[in-house]
Amino acid sequence: MRLIERIRLYIYEITFGGKRSLKNKLTNLVLLQTLTIMIIMIAIFYYAVSSITDAAWEMGISIGREAFTNSSELLIDSEKDALKVYALSQAKAMDSRIGSLEHETKRLRAAAEKIEKNPEIYQPISLDFVEASRMLDTSPLYLQYPPKIDKRNLDYQIGMIANISDLMIRIVDGSSIITSAFIASKDDFVLSVENHVASQYVPPRYSNLSDNEWYKEAIKKDGTSFSNVSELTERNHLGFYCAMPYRNPAGEKMGIVGTLATWENFDKVLLAGKEYDANKFAFVLDENGRIIMSTEKNTSDYITDLTANLNKDLRSGSNKELAALANAMLEGQHEVIEIELNGIEYYVAYAPIKRTGWSMCTGTTKASIVEPETETNKALLKLSEDKASELEKQVAYGAAVFLVFFGLLTYIFIKSGKRMSAHFVNPIYELSMGVREIASGNIDKKLHLNTGDEIEHLASCVNAMTDELKVYMNNMAKAAAEKAHLYAELDVAARIQKATLPCSLLSPNQYLLPSTCCFPFLNKPPYIILPVKITKLAFPLK
């Protein structure tokens, strides 16, 4: 409050204080009002522009954030749906290809059982592994048997089974994932076809069929069996078998037929069509919780916990989130979840491979999903900053123009203020000078002011006053002249009386007037005047 009072006193002092003319005071008043209005206008302008700029900036940021949030959510939802669809499609594709193994195996079984059921329509084919192992134009045919067995005792059985060798060759050559097709008899010999394009593996001549774990498992079952994925040492690849027993007309198991698939061919088909890097991964989990196929490598750029490892059960690992994921996968679920691996957030989708009990999983980092939108948001923020900067430049330019305009307008207001002051002050000044002249004695001075306002009325009043004063002064002069004439007549009468009357009758201070003296201004007959003092006259009636 004190500051405001001081400011008010200061403004009053610079406007009306000191010995200044009314013209200067009015000029200062107009200028002060102009400056006050301009300052208020500038303040309003600055506040409005600042508010608009801030509002535009906040609106841009708000729109950008809201768009980023909404777009990120849409992208995440879209990517989660895409991951779920991709995991399911890959699981179905893998299941379909595993189904092709089963289908080809069933064809082999049907052919073997047909030979067992109708041996009369087939002729034994003579084969000799050493001299002529029937090297065909496509895939070679191989025969294996234990060294303790005399091959000559098995020529008939081998020759009869060899009738399905053409089918095995067609199966191997016509499939992109089957590396080998075979038939294993309970008589301990194996007839197989190897894909010489996919593998340079040559089976040994002598082999004990009873030593193969996959044979032991398959012969126990009545239907299709899939072996565990294992390291095929002789082929230097991971692979698994699809096998099933074939029977004679009596229902007795005569052996097994099967196909072999290696990951070298399998993952090229199933993991194709998508580029994988440090932000994306895919793997297949078998029924034992082992990762049997993975896009991850044993490098620092990848998640080492998700590399293929036949010796590790993911469910018993130290990573609880991966263990929970593995359990959910092996329960046959089809979901999308969010997990954290090595401090990085991932969205993963998984789907079951029903024929084998395996599960397919694919994942991508959350950051890579929203990265395009993040870049868009950065671009939007950059655009907002550029627009805000451009707006600030325009505001600065507008402020400069406004200041120039303000200066020009101030100059105009000063000039117009002076003229307005002159318009108001000049008549007052003229009135003041006229009054001074009248006061100096020139009562004939007339004021001619045609302002049409109170000043003109005041001038008319002054003129009326001088007219009345002039009349009054004329009356006063006339009265003074009459009084002077009276004194002259009295003086003459006194002299006459003195000359005519004896001096003893009159005291030194008394003068007698003759009775015949008349006073024209009394307009009456002559009165008798008794001697009185000079200072007093008595006028008795007759």
- 201 and 154 part of one domain: yes
**Residue 73 located in a structural domain:** no
- Asked which of 367, 391, 415 is the last residue of a domain, the reply is 367
- 524 and 484 part of one domain: yes
Arithmetic mean of pLDDT, 125-139: 50
**Residue 375 located in a structural domain:** no
Q: Count of domains in the chain?
A: 3
Higher per-residue pLDDT: 249 or 151: 249
- 323 and 465 part of one domain: no
Q: What is the pLDDT of residue 117?
A: 92
**Residue 412 located in a structural domain:** no
Is pLDDT of 517 > 60?
Answer: no
Q: What is the pLDDT of residue 249?
A: 92
- Asked which of 322, 338, 367 is the last residue of a domain, the reply is 367
Q: What is the pLDDT of residue 382?
A: 74
Quote the domain boundaries for residue 472: 454-533
pLDDT-above-70 percentage for the chain? 68
Is pLDDT of 512 > 60?
Answer: no
- 142 and 249 part of one domain: yes
The distance between the two most distant Cα atoms of the chain, rounded to a whole number of Å, is: 220
- 196 and 129 part of one domain: yes
Query: Contact at 8 Å (CB) between 146 and 207?
Result: yes
Highest mean pLDDT among 104-118, 290-304, 459-473: 104-118
Arithmetic mean of pLDDT, 49-61: 71
- 491 and 359 part of one domain: no
Could you tell me the CA-to-CA distances from 219 to 188, 213, 252, 297 in Å, in that order? 13, 10, 11, 37
**Residue 139 located in a structural domain:** yes
- 254 and 118 part of one domain: yes
**Residue 190 located in a structural domain:** yes
Highest mean pLDDT among 137-141, 366-370, 517-521: 366-370
Lowest mean pLDDT among 57-66, 222-231, 387-396: 57-66
Q: What is the pLDDT of residue 175?
A: 84
Which residue from 94, 83, 90 is spatially nearest to 273, judged by alpha carbons?
90
Tokens of 223: 């239907």
pLDDT-above-90 percentage for the chain? 12
- 222 and 313 part of one domain: no
**Residue 408 located in a structural domain:** no
- 233 and 357 part of one domain: no
Q: What is the pLDDT of residue 106?
A: 94
Q: What is the pLDDT of residue 167?
A: 92
Tokens of 154: 């098995």
- 261 and 114 part of one domain: yes
Q: Compute how many other C-beta atoms are within 10 angstroms of the C-beta atom of residue 97.
A: 21
What pLDDT band is residue 302 in, cutting at 50, 70 and 90? low
Is pLDDT of 533 > 60?
Answer: no
**Residue 483 located in a structural domain:** yes
Q: What is the pLDDT of residue 542?
A: 42
Check which CATH number belongs to the domain holding 361 and give it.
3.30.450.20
Lowest mean pLDDT among 183-192, 348-357, 420-429, 446-455: 420-429
**Residue 429 located in a structural domain:** no
Q: What is the pLDDT of residue 311?
A: 87
- 101 and 186 part of one domain: yes
Query: Contact at 8 Å (CB) between 193 and 259?
Result: no
- Asked which of 352, 367, 382 is the last residue of a domain, the reply is 367
- 192 and 326 part of one domain: no
**3-class secondary structure, 209:** helix
Q: What is the pLDDT of residues 312-353, one digit of tens each?
A: 898 988 888 889 999 999 998 899 998 888 888 889 999 999
Q: What is the pLDDT of residues 186-230, one digit of tens each?
A: 888 888 888 765 556 666 666 666 677 778 888 888 888 888 888
Q: What is the pLDDT of residues 457-498, one digit of tens each?
A: 888 888 888 888 888 888 888 888 888 888 888 888 888 877
